[in-house]
Structure 1
Amino acid sequence: MPDVRLASPQGRWILLTTVLGSSMAMLDSTVINVALPRIGRDLGADLAALQWTVNAYMLTLAGLILLGGSLGDRYGRRKIFVLGVVWFAAASLLCGLAPNAGVLIAARALQGVGGALLTPGSLALIQASFHPDDRGRAVGLWSGFGGIGAAVGPFLGGWLVAGPGWRWVFLLNVPLALLCAPIAVRHVPDSADGRAHGRFDILGAFLGALSLALVTYALIEARRGSLIVAVTAVAGVLAGVAFVYVEKRRPDPMMPLDIFASRQFTAVNLVTLCVYAAFGGYFFLTALQLQVALGWSPLAAGTALLPTTAMMLLFSARSGALADRIGPRIPLTVGPLLCATAMLLMLRVGPGSSYATDVLPALLVQGAGMVALVAPLTATVLASVDTARAGLASGINNAAARAAGLIAVAALPLLAGMGPEAYRSPDAFNTAFHRAMLLCAGVLVVASALAFTTVRPLPPGCRRPECRTHGAVTAPPLEGGRAAKHLS
């Protein structure tokens, strides 16, 4: 049984290590949007290249995050975590030195591989190291400090882009890794799951990532209307079908399909797909809108986005407590509607808009909506399956959210009519941005309707989330489970 106490020196070292590691991935996912206009200008990249700069990272992270947890079980959680930190730093260095958009996109894909190793690994180290009496508090501190990183990410990204330059958004990870990895090797105990056996589901992970990659390519390049795009789209769908076929027949699949026999689990994941598709498109385009259409500096744009994540950090625990008392149905219905209202308020944001009267009200309503729904969403996911599969359920939900954001970043500019050079024209981008916000609002209304018609009260005594305080905007926080071998 793990016996490290949180108040001990070793406990503090473990917490510091896991916070540093997870913060690298958290910061990178929140600061990149602010840097996109400068990246496009310096590298001569069109909108499709900027979409790939975001999506290459999300693609490998979403496709491999479940496999990353399994590798830690088999070969040692500390080993895989340190490998992920070093890998992430090396890929970040390559991003920072990229001479062109193609190299940057490839390096971002490699970053996602590192993120898939260290993101579940950071939580797994806490689950495997701390005494049961201290584990909940350690997870809470880990998620809270991660939330702080998410909150300051846009501000930090804006400051780096406006000051030293966008390359330092990536290069900053190198000194963090040089601090994190030695501490982990020296102070964090290694552990593995002796029950982990069988083959890794490499084929399932490959087919899942391939399907996402092909569909993403088809959506981003669809405006060209070529035969290659059509063939790629069909191949992506076929790869998805093959993924389901393989997962259904493997004895130890990466994503056991029988978990979807729970109607509640299936329903809440459909809500997740809708909600995080809208969020992914919203945060991607809003950072561009503030700089392209309003002419704000990267620092101003990054600072402007602080209220949403700050509200989540401050009030997510209270939202979870409220959902415990009244059940998840109302928060999961009202939350998306508030977010849809925020998208409609963004229709007022354009050239000449004021932050206080136009931008801030939308961000505050967006924050209120996310506060209302994220914690109950996680609680409902955990309650919809057996306790032994809680970590797996959380991992699937997290991966679904990231995949939804990936598809949204690929599809939304196409659906909104953004051309390859749209982000270079304030008027053209502003018009397309407003169309995109209407689409996001519509998807959120669908999410609200799904939640109202499908989500049921939580059963008494169900497992509650340990990540009570968080500021994640790209995906729900990961949760652990004692027998969740895929993520612990």
Structure 2
Amino acid sequence: MESEQGLPTPRRYWAIVVIALGITLSVLDSAIANVALPTIARDLRASASASIWIVNAYQLSITISLLPLASLGERIGYRRVYIAGLMLFTVASLGCALSNSLGMLAATRVVQGFGAAGIMSVNTALVRAIYPPSMLGRGVAINAMVVAAASALGPTVASAVLAVAHWPWLFAINVPIGILAAAGAMKALPPNVLREGAYDYVSAVMNAFVFGLTIITIDGAGHGESKVWIAVQALAVVVVGYGFVRRQLTQSAPLLPVDLLKIPLFALSVATSVCSFSAQMLAFVSLPFLFQNTLGLTQVQTGLLITPWPLAIVVIAPIAGVLSDRYPAGILGGIGLAMLTLGLAMLATLGSHPSAFDIGWRMALCGAGFGAFQAPNNRQLLSCAPRERSGGASGMLGTARLTGQTLGAALVALIFDIAPINGPTVALGVAAAFSATASCVSLLRLRQPRRAVV
């Protein structure tokens, strides 16, 4: 059974390797699909706009199922949800590789997304069970480092595979890795103390409706859909969302963790996460347009110039994780996000003929700032929740990240529509504003008493 002192070595090392493998699969599969979209669309004779569903189906199914699966993990065990997610992801990957039509591929991507949600929903809850409280920051930092590395390697892996094989192999390579990770998870991952009580299926359905329709509404607003239809969707979200929140307030362990949001440190950490990931996505979506359309760089040059950002996270995240076990997340996050704000502002004010070095060090500054924020923020969010509510905290962490990323991507589309000429520069300025807001929110945590890890 789960111990507050985590797992003994060497089992702890095997467990974190399994966690890293699962997260790598789920993150890589998002990145490689983006790169392969033109090839897949051409091969399946689908339009470019229709092929976007290969990405959207995956993201949407993750978003609507993160919190329900996190809540399920508190009742049947994080280990079971994680292993089931890995198995489902692996089987769906095989289905993706065998798909011969856009409809079939999109459908299997939905299933794959549910598997990825099983991995992501309880990932950090398992990290908390694996590491003792005094080393929790290091465990969270390893997670952040793996995510950054997978994000950085995604386009490279996709390009390498497509250079020697057909696109189905992008999904087929997941199968042996998924089988290996699932087998390791059965042996290495710890069980947790289960929460009693029936699972709230009604809340799970309401959660899916609210988050799913919210994402669709935001995306539709960013892509210029009918204002009347957007208003109808937004009204539906508000009405059902009100009922959803009212229902959660009556639960002892709600699916939407409103009980945890009553903890100031938890709520501030969630707000910091949403704002920071909005800033990151605003930058990630707009920077390729700045480099290629404004500065006239090639796709290869763009890929190389974006790389310093995730590489800096890989370097800084472990250091920030160790520091977060000793110093408040409020100050570490505040400093990191201030660095991110400065880097974004300097990218927004690049001259018309910057050198690769001028761009590279600004990108590295952004990555270093984001890396300095992420691990301490995630540790704070986890540690201020009661241990038996680690699942809810883990699910909320993933939901905050996806919400911020979706908001950032939608804002880029809206900005590009309003300012087609200077869109990338404006988007980077907005990203800097979001990052500055996140830094201020992070510093507000210094006014709250620190909660011990329980």
**TM-score normalised per structure 2:** 0.80
Name the residue aligned to 2:268.
267
Residues 336-415 of structure 1 mapped to structure 2, 5 A cutoff = 336-347=337-348, 354-358=355-359, 360-382=360-382, 384-386=384-386, 389=389, 392-415=392-415
Distance 1:333 1:283 in 2: 21
Distance 2:93 2:291 in 1: 26
The alpha carbon displacement at 1:441 in A equals 1.8
Residues 161-240 of structure 1 mapped to structure 2, 5 A cutoff = 161=162, 164=165, 167-184=168-185, 187-188=187-188, 191=191, 193=193, 195-222=194-221, 223-225=224-226, 227-240=228-241
Is the Cα contact below 8 Å between 1:57 and 1:112 reproduced in 2?
yes
Deviations 1:117-152 (A, max 9, x none): 123455666666x69699969947963556544443
The alpha carbon displacement at 1:400 in A equals 1.4
Deviations 1:201-247 (A, max 9, x none): 33223222322222222233331325333322221222322221221
Aligned residue for 1:224, secondary structure, equals coil
Is the Cα contact below 8 Å between 1:154 and 1:305 reproduced in 2?
no
Distance 2:169 2:204 in 1: 31
Distance 1:387 1:104 in 2: 39
Aligned residues: 446
Name the residue aligned to 1:307.
308
Aligned residue for 1:455, secondary structure, equals helix
Aligned residue for 1:235, secondary structure, equals helix
The alpha carbon displacement at 1:270 in A equals 1.6
Is the Cα contact below 8 Å between 1:17 and 1:180 reproduced in 2?
yes
**Of 427, 435, 447, the match for 1:436:** 427
Is the Cα contact below 8 Å between 1:38 and 1:166 reproduced in 2?
yes
Distance 2:157 2:342 in 1: 28
Distance 2:353 2:293 in 1: 12
Distance 1:250 1:133 in 2: 28
Distance 1:224 1:386 in 2: 43
Is the Cα contact below 8 Å between 2:71 and 2:391 reproduced in 1?
no
Is the Cα contact below 8 Å between 2:66 and 2:118 reproduced in 1?
yes
Distance 1:105 1:436 in 2: 30
Distance 1:136 1:317 in 2: 12
Name the residue aligned to 2:25.
24
Name the residue aligned to 2:160.
159
Residues 11-160 of structure 1 mapped to structure 2, 5 A cutoff = 14-35=15-36, 45-46=47-48, 50=52, 53-75=54-76, 77-96=78-97, 104-121=105-122, 139=139, 143=143, 148-160=149-161
Distance 2:116 2:109 in 1: 10
1:124 to 1:459, Cα distance in 2 relative to 1, 3 A: closer
Is the Cα contact below 8 Å between 2:63 and 2:212 reproduced in 1?
no
Name the residue aligned to 1:468.
none
The alpha carbon displacement at 1:167 in A equals 4.8
Is the Cα contact below 8 Å between 1:55 and 1:409 reproduced in 2?
no
Is the Cα contact below 8 Å between 2:96 and 2:108 reproduced in 1?
yes
Structure 2: segments with no counterpart, 5+ residues: none
**Of 428, 445, 451, the match for 2:436:** 445
Is the Cα contact below 8 Å between 1:6 and 1:138 reproduced in 2?
no
Deviations 1:7-61 (A, max 9, x none): 36xx6655544332222113224444444565667665456864x5544433332
Name the residue aligned to 1:479.
none
1:253 to 1:120, Cα distance in 2 relative to 1, 3 A: same
**Of 9, 22, 30, the match for 1:6:** 9
Q: Does structure 1 residue 462 correspond to structure 2 residue 452?
A: yes
Distance 1:357 1:22 in 2: 33
Write the letter of the residue equivalent to 1:85. L
**Larger mean Cα displacement after TM superposition, 210-219 or 281-290:** 281-290
Distance 1:460 1:27 in 2: 35
Name the residue aligned to 1:424.
none
Distance 1:449 1:12 in 2: 36
Aligned residue for 2:417, secondary structure, equals coil
The alpha carbon displacement at 1:396 in A equals 1.7
Distance 1:332 1:139 in 2: 17
Distance 1:379 1:17 in 2: 20
The alpha carbon displacement at 1:291 in A equals 6.1
The alpha carbon displacement at 1:413 in A equals 0.6
Write the letter of the residue equivalent to 2:309. T
Distance 2:131 2:220 in 1: 51
Is the Cα contact below 8 Å between 2:137 and 2:321 reproduced in 1?
no
The alpha carbon displacement at 1:366 in A equals 0.8
Write the letter of the residue equivalent to 1:296. T
1:259 to 1:371, Cα distance in 2 relative to 1, 3 A: same
Name the residue aligned to 1:485.
none
Distance 1:135 1:391 in 2: 19
Q: Does structure 1 residue 296 correspond to structure 2 residue 298?
A: yes
Is the Cα contact below 8 Å between 1:13 and 1:188 reproduced in 2?
yes
Distance 2:425 2:106 in 1: 28
Distance 1:431 1:133 in 2: 48
**Larger mean Cα displacement after TM superposition, 281-290 or 374-383:** 281-290
